[in-house]
Amino acid sequence: MFKFLQYLISLNTALLGKVRSAQLYDEALGFYTAKDYRSAFPLMKEAAELGSLPAMSILGSMYLLGRGVQENGNQALRWLKQAVDGGFEGAISVLGMAYATGSAGIPIDIPLARQMLTQAAQQGDQQSVRMLEMMDKGEGMFKNLRGAR
């Protein structure tokens, strides 16, 4: 009986964490959408720490672009990879773009960027399609990468 009660308490705690995570994410997303990144950041971080995959993805992009927080490539990679590993497909394109551009000091890795951008493009992400086209045509920041596959 005691183990069953422990199980119920554990389950209740997990469910409360998910509810809290969803509430924080919704509130953070409101600030983020309004471009109030400083207000969004602590809420997004807490939601991510509680396991929200969309929050992990946005938090990673906030670190990547310096929105509401100092740019930090290591933290960007940490959160984006966690979102991807958790199955959040929306983070794949952001991570691929980070490897393609070297934003926030992330080392450029064109083969890995291509792999991720191709996966995102196959899932319908038009921004990834465009970035792959730019890479293939050697446009913009990719003019020295022409033909790099």
Residue 50, helix vs strand vs coil: coil
Q: How confident is the model at residue 145 (pLDDT cuts 50, 70, 90)?
A: low
Domain ranges in the chain are 8-87, 89-149
Please state which CATH class domain 8-87 belongs to.
mainly alpha
> And the tokens for 66?
């310096």
Q: How confident is the model at residue 2 (pLDDT cuts 50, 70, 90)?
A: low
The pLDDT value given to residue 148: 47
DSSP type of residue 106: P
Model pTM? 0.83
Range of weakest confidence among 8-17, 40-49, 66-75, 119-128:
8-17
* 8 pLDDT higher than 60: no
| Residue 71 φ/ψ region, left for φ over 0, alpha for ψ in the -120 to 50 degree band, beta for the rest | beta
The pLDDT value given to residue 107: 95
Mean pLDDT of 17-21: 75
Range of weakest confidence among 8-17, 42-51, 128-137:
8-17
* 134 pLDDT higher than 50: yes
Contact of 60 with 79, CB cutoff 8 Å: yes
Mean pLDDT of 16-27: 83
Mean pLDDT of 12-20: 61
Helical spans, DSSP H, in the chain: 2-33, 37-49, 53-65, 73-85, 90-101, 110-122, 126-137
Mean pLDDT of 68-91: 96
